[in-house]
């Protein structure tokens, strides 16, 4: 008669934490997935009602999925959400026109692989006890309010800039989740973490475009990250000067945050998050003008293994023209003149024409 495999005596929570740590996650928290969000969801509803999503229409879709995780859109019957974080940047990283999260290799595939492995591990825990457990890994694609769930899971708190801050690690963190039907005992669920910003307003004061309507309320339509990455139309003229030298995204509200100045927050990173030299090179006049002339073939090479492609070929050219204009870079006059007349996209011609007036 075949001997039965012994069931592990270590708690499911402890085993999940150990496995998540082995996979490279630096912070883990657990929350009830079958208790809908209330205050955070109400804030989301006000955000959509005000039209703050701009051209990001998907943010207004599937609101019920954003309110709860145990419905049909995410995972029917879910009981637990495992929230996870990994650091990707430091405030003392070298200057770059690219936001820190995009300076290394594209994190999406690596994160998803790790989350899939943790989801499989959760299913295996159920199998050991004769219970069928479902688990779904989430990373950026699904319509959930992940910062709100992370705060509920005790992973960190949402700062006045709307970003999750993990005490000791700061806010330069990538988030992921595993939603599962595995039910943990009440004592294994983490208490929510309340905010710890106090009277500090450094993040709000540092925003170059005054994108914060109030603490915890970011209006993306004025945010440099939105304007340079997600916005597909011409950037309003009154906002172009505030973009400064940001080509793709912005970290200004994070670099001033005291929680990002701790020793641990600036410790060694996974080498895959190390800044790639090609992005620093784009900060030069030559690098920026090369983006003005970018064709589809060159764009595909540039975006390989990087989230920078999210801005699109046309968006990067538009952004490069605005940066050159903000620099008053006379050395770019010839390239800007040519592009203002000949680029295939009107929004790039418009940005180049605007920049020309500032550099001549």
HEC string of the chain?
CCCCCCCCCCCHHHHHHHHHHHCCCCEEEEEECCCCCCHHHHHHHHHHHCCCCCCCHHHHCCHHHHHCCCCCCCCCCCCEEEEEEEECCCCCCCCCCECHHHCCCCHHHHHHHHHHHHHHHHHHHHHHCCCCCCEEEECCCCCCCHHHHHHHCCCCEECCCCCEEECCCECCEEEEEEEECCCCCHHHCCCCCCCCCCCCCHHHHHCCCCCEEECCEECHHHCHHHHHHHCCCCCCHHHHHHHCCCCECCCHHHHCCHHHCCCHHHCCCCHHHCCCHHHHHCCCHHHHHHHHCCCHHHHHHHHCCCHHHHHCHHHHHHHHHHHHHHHCCHHHHHHHHHHHHHCCCHHHHHHHHHHHHHHC
Least confident of 34-38, 303-307, 353-357: 303-307
Look at residue 5 and tell me whether its pLDDT is greater than 60: no
The answer as to whether 50 is a domain residue is yes
Of 34, 40, 70, 140, the active-site residue reads: 140
The answer as to whether 103 is a domain residue is yes
171 and 240 fall within a common domain: no
What local confidence, expressed as pLDDT, does residue 333 receive? 97
How many structural domains compose the chain? 2
Is 140 a catalytic site residue? yes
Look at residue 3 and tell me whether its pLDDT is greater than 70: no
The answer as to whether 274 is a domain residue is no
214 and 150 fall within a common domain: no
pTM beyond 0.85: the answer is yes
The answer as to whether 245 is a domain residue is yes
The answer as to whether 306 is a domain residue is yes
Look at residue 328 and tell me whether its pLDDT is greater than 90: yes
What local confidence, expressed as pLDDT, does residue 360 receive? 83
What range does the domain containing 239 cover? 209-249+282-359
The answer as to whether 196 is a domain residue is no
* Residue where a domain stops, chosen among 154, 188, 222: 188
Look at residue 150 and tell me whether its pLDDT is greater than 90: yes
């Amino acid at each position: 008669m075949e001997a039965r495999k012994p069931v592990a005596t270590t708690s499911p929570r402890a085993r999940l934490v150990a496995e998540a740590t082995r996979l490279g996650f630096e912070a883990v928290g657990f929350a009830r997935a079958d208790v809908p969000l209330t205050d955070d969801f109400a804030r989301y509803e006000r955000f959509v009602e005000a039209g703050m999503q701009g051209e990001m229409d998907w943010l207004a879709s599937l609101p019920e999925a954003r309110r709860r995780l145990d419905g049909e859109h995410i995972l029917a019957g879910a009981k637990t959400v495992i929230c996870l974080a990994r650091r990707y940047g430091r405030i003392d990283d070298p200057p770059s026109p690219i936001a820190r999260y995009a300076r290394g290799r594209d994190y999406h595939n690596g994160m998803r692989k790790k989350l899939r492995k943790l989801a499989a591990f959760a299913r295996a825990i159920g199998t050991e006890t004769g219970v069928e457990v479902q688990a779904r890994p989430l990373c950026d694609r699904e319509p959930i309010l992940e910062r709100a769930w992370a705060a509920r899971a005790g992973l960190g708190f949402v700062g006045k800039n709307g970003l999750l801050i993990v005490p000791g690690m700061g806010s330069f963190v990538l988030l992921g989740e595993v939603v599962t039907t595995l039910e943990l005992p009440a004592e294994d669920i983490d208490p929510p973490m309340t905010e710890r910003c106090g009277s500090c307003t450094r993040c709000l004061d540092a925003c170059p475009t005054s994108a914060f309507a109030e603490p915890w309320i970011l209006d993306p339509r004025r945010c440099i990250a939105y304007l340079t990455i997600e916005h597909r139309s011409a950037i309003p003229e009154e906002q172009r000067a505030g973009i400064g030298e940001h080509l793709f995204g912005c970290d200004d509200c994070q670099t001033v945050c005291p929680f990002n100045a701790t020793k641990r927050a600036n410790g060694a990173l996974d080498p895959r998050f190390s800044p790639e030299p090609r992005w620093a090179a784009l900060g030069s006049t030559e690098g920026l003008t090369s983006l003005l002339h970018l064709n589809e073939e060159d764009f595909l090479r540039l975006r390989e293994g990087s989230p920078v492609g999210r801005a699109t070929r046309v968006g990067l050219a538009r952004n490069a023209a605005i940066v050159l204009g903000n620099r008053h870079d006379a050395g770019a006059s010839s390239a800007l003149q040519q592009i203002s007349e000949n680029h295939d996209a009107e929004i790039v011609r418009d940005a180049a024409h605007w920049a020309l007036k500032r550099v001549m």
